[in-house]
Amino acid sequence: MIEVDEEALLEGCRRGESAAYQRLYARYSAQVYAFARRFLGDEQHAEDVTQEVFLRVFRKLDSFRGEAKFSTWLFRVTVNSCRNKRRTLERVQRFDAERFQGSRPDREPPPERTLMSWALGDRIGQALSRLTEEQRTLLLLKAVEELSYQEIGVLVGQNENQVRGKLYRARKAFKLSLAELGESYAEQSSAGRLATVLD
């Protein structure tokens, strides 16, 4: 079966064709969900974000001019939506903690604690939770999505040299965070895919 041309699908979506919407969703929804699942560490939140992403994309499709690949534009929307979702979750959690738990942050781990505990161990997740949001995002894009510096730059609106510099500092911060937790960087990094960006 010949795959429907992407530009034809986009044109169909602009015309409001439901079949085109369904095909575009089927083509990319799994990738969007997988990224959101890793970023947020929760299946339900990932499903919510996936729906939000496609609603936003379909509403703003007329603003897509083809200056970058559609997948790049879609992924940028996904990253921003995940960031916004996590900020909302953090605000809700802080409110709940203050209202019901007397501001006891040790009762429940914040959402970012589960950000990248994807088979790399809890200490990896703890170490990453100590980084800034930007550092976590850059490491996630490099380690999990395996994007190039140039691709990451397009997504976060920075040039390649800026991305390289910030990733270098993010790596150093991550190693320091691991050391403060009493973990051996060499042992932990060999346990998973973060080794590909930390060396």
Kindly state whether residues 71 and 3 are assigned to the same domain: yes
- Give the integer Cα–Cα distance in Å for 33 and 185: 30
Among residues 55, 53, 112, the alpha carbon closest in space to that of 87 is found at 112
pLDDT tier at 196 (50, 70, 90 boundaries)? very low
Q: Name the average pLDDT for the chain.
A: 78
For the stretch 5-21, pLDDT in tens is: 888 999 999 999 999 99
Domain that holds residue 110: 1-114
SS (H, E, C) 15-31: CCCHHHHHHHHHHHHHH
Asked whether residue 190 falls in the same domain as residue 107, the answer is no
Note the pTM of the prediction, 2 decimals. 0.63
Asked if residue 174 and residue 149 are part of one domain, the reply reads yes
Q: What's the pLDDT tens digit per position in 139-177?
A: 888 887 778 898 888 788 889 999 999 999 999 998 888
Residue (of 76, 19, 21) closest to 53 by Cα position: 76
> Would you state the structure tokens that stand for residue 161, as one six-digit string?
């040299």
Residue 78 sits in a domain of what CATH number?
Answer: 1.10.1740.10
| CATH code for the domain in which residue 155 is found | 1.10.10.10
What's the pLDDT at 91?
A: 78
If one counts the domains in the chain, the total is: 2
